Structure 1
Amino acid sequence: MTTRRKFITTAGLGGAAALATPSIVKAQAPIKWRMQTYSGPPLGAHVIKPQIEAFNKAANGEMEIELYYADQLVPTNELFRSLQNGTLDAVQSDDATMASPADVADFGGYFPFSTRYSLDLPVLFQRYGLNEIWQAAYDEIENVEWLGAGAWDPLHIFTTERPIRSVKDMAGLRVFGVPTAGRFLSRYGLIPVTVPWEDVEVALQTGELDGVAWCGFTEAYEVGWADICKYALLNNVTGAWCGSYFANSESWKKVPPHLQELFRMSMDQSHYYRQVWYWGGEADLRVNGDKLELTTIPAEEWEGVVADSASFWDELASRNERAAKVVEIFKKYQTVMEKAGVPYRYS
C-alpha cells in the first residue's frame, strides 16, 4: 500500500505520464548468414532446406540464413577455404569433399566399412569419443568452428551400362564419388572422377561417367540418377555417410547464445529427419523401386574386399596420433557390435 500511495502522489510529477509513454526500442537489423551445402537442390530439399526454413522462422526476425546449394557461390572443393576467409558464414558438408585440412578429414564422408547402419555414426560420436576428437582437431584450425556431425545414407555403386557382379567388374569404371571411398575402391580399378554436382546427370548421360559411388537408393531416386543408371550394387561400402556443420568463427561469435542454441537444436532435428528419410527409403526402394536392376557380388568374394579394408585403415592410422586414435575407436566399436550379435550385427 505504501508503494501504491507513493506512486499516486508522484503521478502528477510525471510518474503517470512516464508510464503512459511507451519506451522506444530501436530495432536492430537481423544477423545475415550465407550458408552453402555440398548438395544440389533436389537433395538439399531434404538434407538441409527444412532445417534452415525452420530456423529462420524460429529466429523471429533476429537472424536469417540464406541457403545456397552445391557450387552456387563457390566450388565444392573450395568450401573450407571460403568458410575460413569469411566468404561463407556456414557450410554443411563432409570434411573430405570440402577439402578440410583437418587431420580427421579422411574419416568424413564414407570411410570404408566403418559403419553398417546409420545409427552407428551418432553413437560413435556421442558415446565413443569422436565428438571430442573432431572438436580438438578443429580447435587447431583458425577461424573455423566445427558444430557437429550426423549420419546420412549408405554407400552403393550405381552404373549406367556395365553391371557389377564381381570385384573385377569394377575395373575401368569412371565414377563420381566421395574422396576417401574413391581412393579405397581404386584398388580394384575403379576410377574416381570429380565433376561439379550439377554436372553429374549430364556426365552420366554422355558417358563421361559410368556411374556414381556417392549415395544410397533413397538419394539415387530422389535426385534422378536412378532414371539414368540401370544397375545398383547391393553390397555397400559403408553403412552411413558422415557429414558435419561448420561456421566461420567470427560469424559464430556474432550470434547471441540463444540463437546459437537454436541453431544446434535445428541441426539435431535435421539429423533425425535425415536418418528416418534415408533409412525408410533404402528398404522400400530396394523392394518396390522399379528403375534399377539389383546386382550382388558373391559373399565370399566381398569378404575379401572387407578384409582388404583393414590395411586401408592401418594406412590412415599410421599418418598421425589422432588418426590412429580414430581407427582404434572404429575397431573397438566393431568388436563390441560383433560380440553383441543380432540385431546389432548379423555376421
Structure 2
Amino acid sequence: MDRRKVLKGAGLAAAAGAVASPAIAQAQPEIRWRMASAYPKSLDTLFGAGEMIAKRVAAATDNKFQLQTFAAGEIVGALQTLDATQNGTVECSYTLSSFFIGKDPTFMFDTSVPWGMNVRQHNAWMHYGGGLDLMREFMRDYNVFPMPAGQTGAQMGGWFRKEINSIADLQGLKMRIAGMGGQIMQKLGVVPQVLAAGDIYPALERGTLDAVEFSGPHDDEKLGFVKVAKYYYYPGFWEGGAQPSLLVNMGKWNELPANYKAILEAACAEANAMCVAKYDAQNADAIRRLVGQGVQLRPFPRDVMEQSYKEAYKLYGEIAASNAKFKKVFDSWSAFREKELTWFRIAELPFDYFVNQQQGQPR
C-alpha cells in the first residue's frame, strides 16, 4: 500500500467535505417574515399557537426561516389581518377566516359552520374530503394560501346579563358574536356586534353589550367576563369546532424553497393538533373554577336550538342560490357531513353517551 497516496486521497476527501457542507448550508436562504395574529398575547392558546409555529419553523431550519409573531393591534387590528396579508403589509397572519364573511360567506367553511361538523369531522373533510383543496382554490382570488393551524373544539354559547328562557328573551339583545353565527342569531331577534377580543370586556362592562360569545372557559376566564355577566350558556352551536388558519401571502408562499414549505405546513399541522388538545385540558379545569366563582351554567332553551338550526340551513340555501363559489363548497361539505353523521351515530355517539351516563356511578 502506498501510504502517501492514501493520505493524499484522505486529504482531498476532507477538503471536498469542507467545501460541500458550507455550500449546502448556504443554499438555504435566510428568510424573515412577520405574522400578524388576530389575538392578544393574553390568549395563550390562540396567540400561543402562532408562536408554536414560529418556534418549530426556526428550530427545523437552524433559524434560517424565522417568523416574528405580532399580537392584534401591534401592526394591524384583528379584523384587518386578511387585508394586511393580501397586500403584503405582512407575509402571513394567524386568524379565523370566518372573520371575513363580509367579503364572501364562503370564508366560513375554513373555520366552522353553525350547526355543522365537530372537530374530527371537520378535519376529515379538510384533509380527506377535498375541503382544503376547495378553500385554497377559493382563497387564491384573495392572494392568500391557507393552512389549518389550530382548533378550539366545541365552544360555549356565551355570557348573558340576564337569563334566557325562550326566544322571546333574545329580542333586541345586543350580543358580540362573530361570523355566520351572528347572522343566524339576528334572525332570532339578536342585534349582533363584531368586536375584536380586546374590545369586548369594556363594552360588556359599560352595558354597550348585553351578551358576548368568544370561545370557551379557558379564554373566557382570561378575558374576565365572569366579573360582569353570570349566566353562561351552552352549546356554542355556531362553532362546533373553530379552526384558525395561517394565511400566507401567495407571492411569498411561491417564493419559499420546497423544504421551507414542507416545514411550515408540518408546523401548522402540529399546531392544529396541539391547540385542541390544550383546550380540552384547560377548559375542563377552567369551567370548574368559573362555577366556583358563582357562574350559572345554562343550556340554551329548546326553542332557541330548534329555530336556530332551521334558520341556519335556510340561510345556507339562500346564499347557495346566488353565490356559485359558496354553492360549490357547500355541496361538498354537505355530502361529507351526511356520511360523517351516519358513522358517528353508529359508534362515537353511543360510546360517549353511555360513558357520560356512568359518570358518578359506582364502579
TM-score (norm 1): 0.84
Deviations 1:146-183 (A, max 9, x none): 23465323343322522223222222222222131111
- The alpha-carbon deviation at position 278 of structure 1 amounts to 2.2
Counterpart of 2:313 in structure 1 is 310
- Kept after mapping to 2: 8 A contact 1:83/1:91: yes
Q: Hey, what's the Cα distance between the residues in 1 that align with 2:204 and 2:105?
A: 33
The aligned residue for residue 164 of structure 1 is 164
Partner of 2:225: 225
Partner of 2:116: 114
**Secondary structure of the structure 2 residue equivalent to 1:272:** helix
Greater CA deviation, 176-185 or 318-327? 318-327
SS at match of 1:104: helix
Q: Is the 8 A contact 1:157 1:232 kept in 2?
A: yes
Cα distance in 2 for partners of 1:9, 1:162 equals 85
Q: Which moved more, 1:259-268 or 1:282-291?
A: 282-291
Q: Secondary structure at the match of 1:96?
A: helix
Q: What amino acid does structure 2 have at the position aligned with 1:323?
A: F
Instruction: Render the CA deviation track for 1:72-124: whole Å, top value 9, x for unaligned.
Output: 21123322221112111001112231468466214344421012x32221112
- Per the alignment, do residues 220 and 34 of structure 1 end up closer, same or farther by CA in structure 2, a change over 3 Å counting? same
Q: 1:308 to 1:195 in 2, by over 3 A?
A: closer
Query: Which residue number corresponds to residue 134 of structure 1?
Result: 135
Structure 1 match to 2:357: none
**Paired residue for 2:90, among 88, 98, 110?**
88
3-state SS of the aligned residue for 1:318? helix
Asked if 1:200 is matched to 2:217, the reply is no
Q: Which residue of 2 aligns with 1:262?
A: 263
1:211 lines up with 2:214 in the alignment: no
1:269 counterpart SS class = helix
Change (3 A) 1:121 1:218: farther
Shift in alpha-carbon separation, 1:190–1:155, aligned structure 2, 3 A: farther
Corresponding residue number in structure 2 for 1:319:
322
Shift of 1:345: 4.3
**Helix, strand or coil for the counterpart of 2:145?**
strand
- Whether 1:176 and 2:176 are equivalent positions in the alignment is yes
Q: 2:120 is matched by which residue type in structure 1? A: L
Post-superposition Cα deviations, 1:214-239, rounded to whole Å, max 9, x if no partner, equal: 32223212433344431111232131
Distance in structure 1 (CA, Å) of the matches to 2:289 and 2:162: 22
| Backbone CA RMSD of aligned residues | 3.3
- Amino acid of the structure 2 residue aligned with 1:183: Q
**Identical residues among aligned pairs (%):** 18
2:64 & 2:339 partners in 1: Cα distance?
46
Encode CA deviations 1:31-73: one digit per residue, 9 max, x unaligned.
1101011111122444322332232233212121110112221
Question: In the alignment, does 2:55 pair up with 1:53?
Answer: yes
Query: In the superposition, relative to structure 1, how do residues 171 and 63 fare at CA in structure 2: closer, same or farther (>3 Å)?
Result: same
Q: In structure 2, what is the equivalent of residue 253 of structure 1?
A: 254
Secondary structure of the 1:242 match is coil
Report if aligned partners of 1:216, 1:282 keep a CA contact under 8 Å in 2: yes
Aligned residue-pair number: 341
Q: Specify which structure has the higher proportion of helix.
A: 2
> Does structure 1 residue 299 correspond to structure 2 residue 302?
yes
**Corresponding residue SS for 1:215:** coil
Asked if residue 336 in structure 1 is aligned to residue 339 in structure 2, the reply is: yes
Q: Which amino acid aligns with 1:50?
A: M
2:311 alignment partner AA: D
- Using the size of structure 2 for normalisation, the TM-score is 0.81
Tell me which residue corresponds to 1:191. Answer: 191
Deviates more, 1:305-314 or 1:44-53: 44-53
Q: Which runs of 5+ in 2 are unaligned?
A: 354-363
Which has the higher mean CA deviation after the structures are superposed, 124-133 or 103-112?
Answer: 103-112
Name the amino acid aligned to 1:120.
Answer: Q
Q: C-alpha distance in 2, partners of 1:20/1:323?
A: 57
Q: Which runs of 5+ in 1 are unaligned?
A: none
Relative to 1, partners in 2 of residues 1:236 and 1:76: Cα closer, same or farther, differing over 3 Å?
closer
Decide whether aligned partners of structure 1 residues 19 and 309 sit closer, same or farther in structure 2, where only a CA change above 3 A counts.
closer
Partner of 2:361: none
Aligned to 1:31: 31
Does residue 146 (structure 1) correspond to residue 146 (structure 2)? The answer is yes
* Cα distance in 2 for residues equivalent to 1:132 and 1:248: 17
